[in-house]
Amino acid sequence: MNPAMRNTMHSAPAPAAPKREPSLQAERLSKSFLSGVVRVQVLQELSISIYPAELTLISGPSGCGKSTLLSLLSGLQPADSGTARALGEDLSKLNKRALERFRLKHTGFVFQGFNLFPALTAKEQVQLPLGYLGFDDKRSAARAMQALTEVGMTHRANAYPAQMSGGEKQRIAIARALAKEPELLFADEPTSALDADNGQKIIDILHGIARSHGTTVLCVSHDPRLVRHADRVLAMEDGTIRNDWQPSGHAPVRPGRAALTAEQHS
Ligand SMILES: Nc1ncnc2c1ncn2[C@@H]1O[C@H](COP(=O)(O)OP(=O)(O)OP(=O)(O)O)[C@@H](O)[C@H]1O
Ligand SMILES: [Mg+2]
């Protein structure tokens, strides 16, 4: 066979990698707040796409607008201008009721302060949102135990928040968010109140959720320990994304997307 021909046969183009759609999109998002008589511009025409099955970390100095961005992308607050899209849905087009329904069905939240009810056991905390989704007791109990297993907390299922450590409370809060099996999981400073070991456990759990469930995990933090565990880091400053990079050691999850590595970044 003609060697040139053999070469052609062997160098058939590889099948195109499947295109993955972003699950969260900010398009020229702007947001300002009135502080006394002064209007403070917090987000300045910020645009970014965020993808499923990744743990994306938003880092940046205090007051730079990280939590504001999270609240706009999760529909907790409206933007002044621009578009916030979640799962392809333009959030500004949803009325209050539809937005609440969207958040209930598709999103989970984890906060620095855990936000647990003092009078409910761990299992009851996790079951609660499932009741709002129409699960009967038996189904919600099974789903809650499944979520508690994922965060390694079945042995504390009957404990009350006052009987738990900070790390344990945060794992319950994650189980509560996870039990709904949301496509989008938002975490605002989930490790700030925790020591290094517990912070590490939390970030491992969040990373595991992104990988095993294909969940979009968007986490806001100034904790530098988290950076190397993220699939992607968005560094925010003055209301915009200054840097978008990928810590080394994590294979890109999104096919065909160029990203800076940690070495290129430093
Ligand atoms: N509801 C509000 N009313 C007035 N100002 C606000 C409001 N929410 C946020 N801000 C202001 O917007 C700016 C950005 O706040 P944001 O909470 O997004 O910052 P952050 O990056 O999350 O900070 P931190 O790391 O301290 O949590 C701050 O100057 C804050 O005071
Ligand atoms: Mg914040």
Pocket test for ligand 1, best of 34, 67, 186, 188 (most atoms within 8 A of CB): 67
Can you tell me whether residue 186 is helix, strand or coil?
Answer: strand
Q: Going by CATH, does the domain composed of 51-78+94-251 fall within 3.10.580.10?
A: no
Q: Whose CA is nearest to atom 16 of ligand 1?
A: 65
Can you tell me whether residue 118 is helix, strand or coil?
Answer: coil
How much distance in Å is there from the Cα of 69 to the middle of ligand 1?
A: 10
Tens of pLDDT, residue by residue over 196-232, are: 888 888 999 999 999 999 999 999 998 888 888 899 9
Q: What is the mean pLDDT of residues 31-55?
A: 95
Q: What is the model's pLDDT at position 229?
A: 87
What is the number of the ligand closest to the CA of 239?
A: 1
Q: What is the model's pLDDT at position 6?
A: 47
Tens of pLDDT, residue by residue over 4-40, are: 444 444 555 666 666 679 999 999 999 999 989 999 9
How much distance in Å is there from the Cα of 82 to the middle of ligand 1?
A: 19
| Pocket of ligand 1 from Cβ distances under 6 Å | 33, 35, 40, 42, 60, 62-68, 222
What is the number of the ligand closest to the CA of 60?
A: 1
Strand partners, 33: 40
Nearest atom (ligand 1) to Cα of 64 = 21
Tokens (6 digits) for 217: 């995990």
Written as one string, the DSSP assignment of 16-32 is: PPPP---SEEEEEEEEE
Q: Whose CA is nearest to atom 25 of ligand 1?
A: 62
Q: Does the pLDDT of residue 263 top 80, yes or no?
A: no
Say if residues 176 and 146 touch (Cβ distance below 8 Å): no
Nearest atom (ligand 1) to Cα of 220 = 22
Say if residues 56 and 232 touch (Cβ distance below 8 Å): yes
Kindly compute the dihedral angle of the four CA atoms of residues 88, 90, 95, 100, in this order, to the nearest 10 degrees: 50
What is the number of the ligand closest to the CA of 235?
A: 1
Pocket test for ligand 1, best of 42, 71, 241 (most atoms within 8 A of CB): 42
Query: pTM for the complete prediction?
Result: 0.87
Q: Which helix (H) or strand (E) holds 220?
A: strand 216-220
Pocket test for ligand 1, best of 68, 69, 234 (most atoms within 8 A of CB): 68
> How many alpha carbons fall within 13 Å on the CB side of residue 194?
27
Could you tell me what percent of the chain has a pLDDT over 90?
A: 75
Q: What is the model's pLDDT at position 196?
A: 87
